[in-house]
Amino acid sequence: MTFNWDTAYIYKDVNDLWHLWAKLYNDVLDVHAPLNKKRVRGDQLPWITPELQREISLRNRLFKLHKRKPTENSWEYYRKQRNKVTSLQRKGLRSFCVEAAVNAKHHGKFWSKMKPLLPGKSKKQSKIILLEDKMVVTDPVCVAETFNNYFCEVVGSDGDCLEV
């Protein structure tokens, strides 16, 4: 199939030309100008370094490879990379927090850096439910008393006689 380039000079609007070419020359456009989907990610966390980003990408590729062909070796490669990424993330977060604490000129600057790490102000509260002496305890005062009694007993004993 020949491609008539003279039609490019008929239209002033590029979108009109694109729609014409899409109708007439769809096969040619698919070969020479395919539509690619790209995922645009949001802002990275401040402790994600380029090195850590490369390691995360490698971990994701290894996981996809394992999903396609699950073997013991592919799982081991993925598992080691996953553990490495977790270690790097923890080190990065730790150094970010230390740097924020040391270099903050005033407490407001420190807390502005720490705010993304803290839980949000949600009204959802978790309720503690205990099973004590085969009875369910949900009352916050009773839960507090149960914890208090338990920890007082642990401090007073050597810990050998308590059941967990």
Average pLDDT of the segment spanning 106-134: 79
Q: pLDDT tens across 123-132, in order?
A: 666 788 888 8
Res 90: pLDDT:
94
- CA dist 50 and 41 (Å) reads 15
77 three-class SS: helix
User: Of the candidates 62, 58, 52, which has an alpha carbon nearest to the alpha carbon of residue 88?
Assistant: 52
Instruction: Write the pLDDT tens digit of every residue in 54-78.
Output: 999 999 999 999 999 999 999 999 9
- Residues 21-44 have pLDDT tens digits of 777 777 776 777 788 888 877 777
Q: What is the pLDDT of residue 121?
A: 73
CB 59 within 8 A of CB 85: yes
pTM over 0.75: no
Confidence of residue 146 (pLDDT cuts 50, 70, 90): confident
pLDDT of amino acid 34: 80
Higher pLDDT, residue 64 or 101? 64
Whether 158 shows a pLDDT value over 70: the answer reads no
Q: What is the mean pLDDT of the chain?
A: 83
Helices then strands, counting H and E runs in the chain, come out as 6, 2
Residue 164 clears pLDDT 60, i.e. is over it? no
Question: Do 52 and 84 touch, CB atoms closer than 8 A?
Answer: no
Burial class (CB in 10 A: 0-12, 13-18, 19+), 146: middle
Least confident interval from 16-20, 35-39, 45-49, 154-158: 154-158
